[in-house]
Structure 1
Amino acid sequence: MDNRDGAPIYTVNDWQDNSEIGSTYDTTTSEPTDHTMSTLASDTASEYFQEIYGRMFPIDENVPPLFPTDDAEVRRLKLQHLSLKLIIGSNYFGPVRNALAESPDGRRKRVLDLFTADGTWVREMAAEFPHVDFTSVDLVPIVPHTRCANILGYEVYDVYNGVAEADNTFDVIHLRYSMSKVNPTPIIRHLRHIAIRQLPSLVRELHRVLRPGGLFLYGEYENEVFDASMGDHAASSTAPY
């Protein structure tokens, strides 16, 4: 995105797999470097999307096309965020304040927001915890983001190849509504010939970058799809794969 319009979005250029994390990402901050990151310009952001029946979807075949990625979807995401916040009364649950309390040794704590979407959650959390550094990651650049001093980066890359951070990096990891991005079961299923990655594999990767004693915040839809020919049977029990 154009830096004049908002915070820059960074793409990871040389991320391959977990074996390369040590030399490139083993630092105390996720501040991008010229070696690891490049800024995504506004005129290239459109290359991430394609129009299907009047709605915009990710063009990358690694991204399941379950939901569109256009202005209408951004409005839905914001309403969804507000609804959840009203239900639980906050942007989080559990001992988050304790986990993000200032360290006696002065170390700045860090939070990873995975599949950040429109970025409302990470911006509000950054405002509430100005002494904490946040990193935002998603598969595609949905919207331009607002600059914030303690949001170190809005990053876009193929998370399925691994989280581009060192082991034991984050004090808190936030992930919600991942079912549109990954398959919840150990069996890889296909949607329009696209392999949807497994949730257990993603959780193991998040465990790798979570500090010992860290906090993993995970929220999900209670999804159930029914077979049109057998309305009282869940599709998961009748599907051929």
Structure 2
Amino acid sequence: MITVLIADDQELVRSGFRMILDARDDLTVVGEAGDGEEAIRLAAQTRPDVVLMDVRMPGTDGISATARLTAAADAPKVIILTTYDLEEPLYAALRAGASGFLLKDVRPSDLVDAIRVVARGEALLAPAMTRRLLDRFVATDVTPSAPTGSLRTLTEREREVLGLLARGSSNAEIAARLVVTEATVKTHVSAILRKLGVRDRVQAVVLAYDLGLVRPRPSS
């Protein structure tokens, strides 16, 4: 059973998401919060697997709340919910530790799938908005030579896999590119997360950007 906490300042939005999730046998909503502070408090009490977090809320906003939640031990995965397809706030949320992004008009089936994917931690959540976001900020030049910082702990092949992750590639796409099995790719990804000390693929990509393995795409 995947437990979910919903944080949004609109009760109607929270109720709608709850109806969608409670209709699934493998999902259950353990709490609803109307602002960031309440989300942090309820998360400590209920220890959800996934938090659906609105960006704009009174008091502590979703980005600040995400940063505080993901800094804790055994942190939940956070999916950012937004009405606005804006890159800068979403990138700030990604850096704060979010594992995915969804527009509030997401189809029910896509919402459910996103929660399952993020809860598993097996793949980067990549709807069109997230792929464009990663493409804008971290998905151009890959420089596997002369690694710095914690990248030195990775093998050359692991740095290559991380570079492909930064381009938004799936396990299947990476396997095809490197001519290996998907199982081998999963092994490499697990090693990358462990060595870099990050929770999921999204945070591995952010770290790769910060450490210079990938370079941002110039603004057009």
TM-score normalised by L of structure 1: 0.25
- Identify the structure with the greater strand proportion: 1
Decide which structure has greater helix share.
Answer: 2
